[in-house]
Amino acid sequence: MRATRNRGTRGGPGPLFLAPYLPFLLVFGVLPMIYAVGLAFTDGAGGWAGFRNFTRTTGDYRFLPAFRHILLYTSVWLGLLVVLVVGLALLLHGRANRVSATFRFLFYIPGALAGASSVLVWLFMLDPSVSPGSFLLRHVLGSELFVQSIAPGKLPFIFAMIAFWTGAGGWIVVMYGALNTIPQDLEEAARIDGAGPVTIALRLKLPLLRKWIAYMAILSFATGTQLFVEPQLVNQASLGLVPDTWSSNQLAYQMAFRYGDFNAAAAISVDLLAIGLVAAVVIVTRTGLFRADD
Partner 1 sequence: MIQRRLWPVLVVVALAVAGCSTSSRGGSGPAGSPTSRTVGGDITIWVDSVRLPAAQAYAKAHPNVHANIVTFDGDGNGATTLQTKIQLWNRTGKGWPDVIFSEQVNDPVWMAQKPFDFAAPVKDLIPAELLSQWPAPSTAQCTINGTQYCVQDNLAQVVLWVNKKLMDQFGYTVPTTWQQWAALGDKVAREHPGYIVGNIGDSFSHWIYLWGNQCPLQQLRGSTLLINPADAHCTRAASMLDPLVQNGTVPPLSVFTPDFAKKYGGAEDKILLMPGPAWYAQALFDQTLHIPAKQITAAAPLQWESETPVTTGQVGGGPWIISRHSTNLATAADFVIWATTVYNPTGSESRPGYPAYAPLATTWLKAQATNPYFAADPTPALQGAASQIWSGWNLVTFPDQPVWSNTVVTQLVAGKSLSSLLGPLGNALAQAAQAAGYAVTQQ
* Footprint of partner 1 (CB under 8 A): 27-29, 31-33, 35-36, 39, 60-61, 111, 115-116, 118-119, 127-130, 145-148, 151-152, 163, 166-167, 170, 222-223, 226-230, 236, 238-244, 249, 252-254, 256-260, 262, 265-266, 269, 272-273
DSSP string, 151-214: -GGGHHHHHHHHHHHHHHHHHHHHHHHHHHTS-HHHHHHHHHTT--HHHIIIIIIHHHHHHHHH
Helix (H) / strand (E) element for 129: namely none
- Residue placing its CB nearer to partner 1 in the complex, 225 or 287: 225
Nearer of residues 53 and 118 to partner 1, judged by Cβ = 118
Q: Choose between 90 and 168: whose C-beta lies nearer to partner 1.
A: 168
User: Considering only CA atoms, which of 74, 102, 10, 52 is closest in space to residue 263?
Assistant: 52
Calculate the alpha carbon distances from 153 to 42, 44, 224, 249 in Å.
37, 37, 18, 19
Least distance between partner 1 and beta carbon 113 (Å)? 10
For the CB of residue 285, give the shortest distance to partner 1 in the complex, in Å: 24
Least distance from partner 1 to the Cβ atom of residue 187, Å: 30
By beta-carbon proximity to partner 1, the closer residue of 167 and 214 is: 167
Instruction: Answer whether 278's CB lies under 8 Å from 263's CB.
Output: no
Considering the complex, what minimum distance in angstroms separates the CB of residue 171 from partner 1?
Answer: 9
Q: Report how far residue 219's alpha carbon sits from residue 229's, in angstroms, rounded to the nearest whole number.
A: 17
In this structure, are residues 216 and 280 in contact, taking their beta carbons and an 8 Å threshold?
A: no
Residue 195 C-beta: closest distance to partner 1, Å:
35
Q: Which is nearer to partner 1, 199 or 223 (CB)?
A: 223
Q: Which is nearer to partner 1, 29 or 133 (CB)?
A: 29
What is the closest distance, in whole angstroms, from the C-beta atom of residue 240 to partner 1 in the complex?
4
Q: Judging by beta carbons within 10 Å of its beta carbon (0-12, 13-18, 19+), is residue 99 exposed, middle or buried? A: exposed
Residues 175, 181, 186, 191: what is their CA dihedral angle, to the nearest 10 degrees? 50
